[in-house]
């Protein structure tokens, strides 16, 4: 059994503050990383920031900031999530890091050496009104929707292209031989049919004269890499590839035995499970082992957006629910892979029901009842049983929490049925026996909570030991 575990989130693009969708992705990855550590694995958990590309460059220009200073400030904002959500990532890669740029250039070189890169004239449609490039899908009747009637300029530009089309068969073979390559299955079907329909080569460079903010293309001063080609490389540059082969093989894996787990939002299905895999195949590198695709979070039945004004930030959640409350709510928002709908109202209800009234109140009851006892806590060898391990490995983490909460309910009922506060006065033997079960159950709960709510897990253990009254989660409103 391989002892090294590698998991990575996608790298958020630094043109906006961290939002809750990414927070949910990274918390899920964190739960998995902590779980694997508990199982005795050596874990590399990667995240970071994607910092190149025209949008960032333009934004920095608008704000009259030095581009590097601009991305530095955003990278810091994302790194703040580590403390804010008590994340345990081991690597934080920035695509402006020197070693990353070198890795991206090396990957380019290998893909090129294998004949998957070529140069061609590329025609773009440019709206003078917006001063922006437009794709056909953005146009209505051939005009920019914001400037109807204004003719679009056709600009010819020479760019490098990636022969995505030539990798269709290899990708399909990868999918065929790994029936769970993308989870959930419906997302896998979607990407399979996308690849089956045929692939179009895509441009992987930009003219430096128009947009200098990118990794330079070697041996061609006029071009920089298109942001996706550069950004995707982070998953291996973070491991020290190409220099550190040992680290790379241990964690990313080998062609025979890939080892890397990726988690991404559904907007990244194509990039992660097709484009990136094709790039790896084109360079004769091992592919990922599995790509987990998460759904989107909606608020009150609507898409989260600035114009609607319903954006919820992780910082706001932490302010209201605390770190572990926020982690709990993000993990239990719904089935992995589905779109989930949240609202403040629903979150407060769930927080009060599960955390304050459920786990928190049970802890208070047990701690108070055990005040004058000194019982030995049983050491459990097995914390997670087979079926929970399977659920964890499939990112059905909300179901594992449901299983933990079954114990919470069972114990509340058990207290009701056995009435330990009465037993304490008249039947010490029985009282001890009842309390033994309750204390051991609560201890088991605290062990199982380590990957999900590390701080709460500690608090419960401490309360069981010191018998000091503890409010784990204050009721809201």
Partner RNA sequence: CGCGGGGUAGAGCAGUUUGGCAGCUCGUCUGGCUCAUAACCAGGAGGUCGCAGGUUCAAAUCCUGCCCCCGCAACCA
Residues 78-137 that bind RNA (CB under 7 A): 122, 133, 135-137
CB 286 within 8 A of CB 280: yes
Mark the segment that binds RNA (CB under 7 A) among 88-96, 111-119, 323-331, 332-340.
Answer: 332-340
**Residue 197 binding RNA, by CB under 7 A:** yes
DSSP string, 328-364: HHHHTSS-TTS-EEE-HHHHHHHIIIIIIIIIIHHHH
18 is a site residue for RNA (CB under 7 A)? no
Q: Which stretch binds RNA (CB under 7 A): 30-38, 82-90, 169-177, 469-477?
A: 469-477
Residue 360 interacts with RNA (CB under 7 A): yes or no: yes
Interaction with RNA in 416-435: which residues (CB under 7 A)?
A: 416-417, 419-421
What is the Cα–Cα distance from 171 to 182, expressed in whole angstroms? 12
Which DSSP string corresponds to 122-164? EEEEEETTTTEEE-GGG-BTTB-TTSTTSPPEEEEEEEEEE-G
DSSP symbol at 13: B
Q: Of these, 117, 174, 199, 347, which contacts RNA (CB under 7 A)?
A: 199
Binding RNA by CB under 7 A: which of 102, 202, 208, 240?
202
Q: Shortest distance, CB of residue 317 to RNA, whole angstroms?
A: 17
C-alpha distance from residue 65 to each of 12, 71, 94 (Å): 20, 10, 19
CB 231 within 8 A of CB 46: no
Q: How many CB atoms lie within 10 A of CB 471?
A: 12
CA-CA distance, 162 to 112, in Å (whole number)?
9
Among 339, 378, 427, 428, the residue binding RNA under the rule CB under 7 A is: 339
Q: Write out the binding residues for RNA, residues 219-248 only, by CB under 7 A.
A: 226-228, 231
Question: In the window 165-194, what residues touch RNA (CB under 7 A)?
Answer: 185-186, 189-190, 193-194
Q: Out of 363, 388, 443, 446, name the contact with RNA by CB under 7 A.
A: 363
Please give the residues from 381 up to 410 whose contact with RNA meets the rule CB under 7 A.
409
Q: Does 6 bind RNA (CB under 7 A)?
A: no
CB closer to RNA, 303 vs 465: 303
For the residues of 393-421, what is the DSSP string, one character each? HTT-HHHHHHHHHHHHHHHHHHHHHH-HH
Choosing from 12, 253, 451, 454, the residue that interacts with RNA (CB under 7 A) is 12
CB closer to RNA, 261 vs 472: 472
Q: Are the C-beta atoms of residues 205 and 188 closer than 8 Å to each other?
A: no
Of 204, 214, 212, nearest in space to 101 by CA = 214
Q: Which region, judged by CB under 7 A, interacts with RNA, from 35-43, 66-74, 215-223, 466-474?
A: 466-474
Size of residue set near RNA by CB under 7 A: 75
Q: Other C-beta atoms within 10 Å of 245: how many?
A: 11
What is d(CA 192, CA 294) in angstroms, rounded to the nearest whole number?
17
Q: Provide the 8-state DSSP code for 353.
A: I
Is 474 a residue that touches RNA (CB under 7 A)? yes
Binder of RNA out of 176, 413, 437, 462 (CB under 7 A): 413
Closest CB to RNA among residues 301, 309: 301
Helix/strand/coil percentages in the chain, nearest 5: 50, 15, 35
Asked whether position 459 contacts RNA by CB under 7 A, the answer is no
CB of 365 to RNA, least distance (A): 4
CB of 443 to RNA, least distance (A): 17
Q: Which two tokens stand for residue 73?
A: 């400030």
Does 334 bind RNA (CB under 7 A)? Our answer is: yes
Q: Does 455 bind RNA (CB under 7 A)?
A: no
What's the N-to-C CA distance of the chain in angstroms? Answer: 49
Residue 265 near RNA by CB under 7 A: yes
Q: How many residues does the structure list for the chain?
A: 477
| 198 lies in the binding site for RNA (CB under 7 A) | yes
Rank residues 36 and 411 by Cβ distance to RNA and give the closer one.
411
- How far apart are CB 201 and RNA at their closest, in Å? 8
For RNA, the closer of residues 248 and 276 by Cβ is 276
């Amino acid at each position: 059994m391989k002892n090294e575990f590698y998991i990575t989130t996608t790298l958020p693009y630094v043109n906006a503050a961290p939002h809750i969708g990414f927070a949910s992705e990274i918390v899920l990855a964190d739960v998995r990383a902590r779980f694997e550590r508990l199982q005795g694995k050596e874990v590399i958990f990667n995240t970071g920031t994607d910092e190149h590309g025209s949008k960032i460059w333009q934004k920095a220009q608008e704000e009259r900031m030095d581009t590097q200073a601009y991305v530095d400030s955003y990278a810091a904002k994302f790194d703040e999530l580590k403390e804010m959500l008590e994340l345990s990532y081991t690597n934080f890669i920035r695509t402006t890091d020197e070693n990353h740029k070198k890795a991206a250039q090396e990957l380019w070189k290998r893909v090129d050496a294998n004949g998957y890169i070529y140069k061609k004239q590329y025609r773009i449609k440019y709206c003078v009104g917006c001063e922006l490039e437009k794709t056909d899908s953005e146009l209505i009747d051939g005009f920019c929707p914001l400037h109807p009637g204004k003719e679009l300029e056709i600009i010819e530009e020479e760019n490098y292209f990636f022969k995505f089309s030539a990798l269709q068969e290899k990708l399909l073979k990868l999918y065929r031989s790994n029936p769970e390559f993308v989870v959930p299955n419906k997302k896998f079907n979607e990407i399979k049919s996308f690849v089956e329909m045929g692939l179009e080569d895509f441009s992987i460079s930009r003219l430096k004269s128009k947009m200098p903010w990118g990794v330079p293309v070697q041996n061609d001063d006029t071009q920089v890499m298109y942001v996706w080609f550069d950004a995707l490389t982070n998953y291996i540059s973070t491991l020290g590839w190409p220099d550190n082969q040992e680290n790379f093989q241990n964690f990313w894996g080998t062609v025979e035995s890939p080892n890397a787990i990726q988690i991404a939002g559904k907007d990244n299905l194509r990039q992660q499970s097709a484009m990136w895999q094709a790039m790896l195949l084109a360079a004769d590198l091992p592919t990922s082992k599995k790509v987990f695709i998460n759904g989107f979070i909606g608020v009150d039945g609507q898409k989260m957006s600035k114009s609607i004004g319903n954006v919820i930030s992780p910082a706001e959640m932490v302010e209201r629910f605390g770190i572990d409350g926020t982690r709990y709510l993000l993990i239990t928002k719904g089935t992995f892979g589905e779109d989930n709908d949240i609202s403040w109202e629903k979150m407060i209800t769930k927080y009060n029901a599960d955390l304050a009234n459920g786990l928190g109140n049970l802890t208070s009851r047990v701690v108070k009842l055990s005040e004058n006892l000194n019982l030995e806590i049983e050491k459990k060898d097995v914390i997670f049983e087979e079926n929970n391990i399977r659920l964890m490995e499939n990112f059905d983490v909300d179901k594992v929490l449901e299983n933990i909460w079954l114990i919470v309910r069972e114990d509340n009922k058990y207290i009701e049925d056995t009435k330990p506060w009465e037993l304490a006065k008249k039947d010490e033997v029985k009282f001890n026996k009842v309390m033994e079960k309750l204390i051991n159950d609560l201890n088991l709960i605290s062990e199982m909570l380590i990957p999900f709510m590390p701080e709460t897990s500690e608090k419960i253990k401490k309360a069981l030991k010191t018998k000091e009254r503890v409010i784990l989660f204050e009721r809201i409103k």
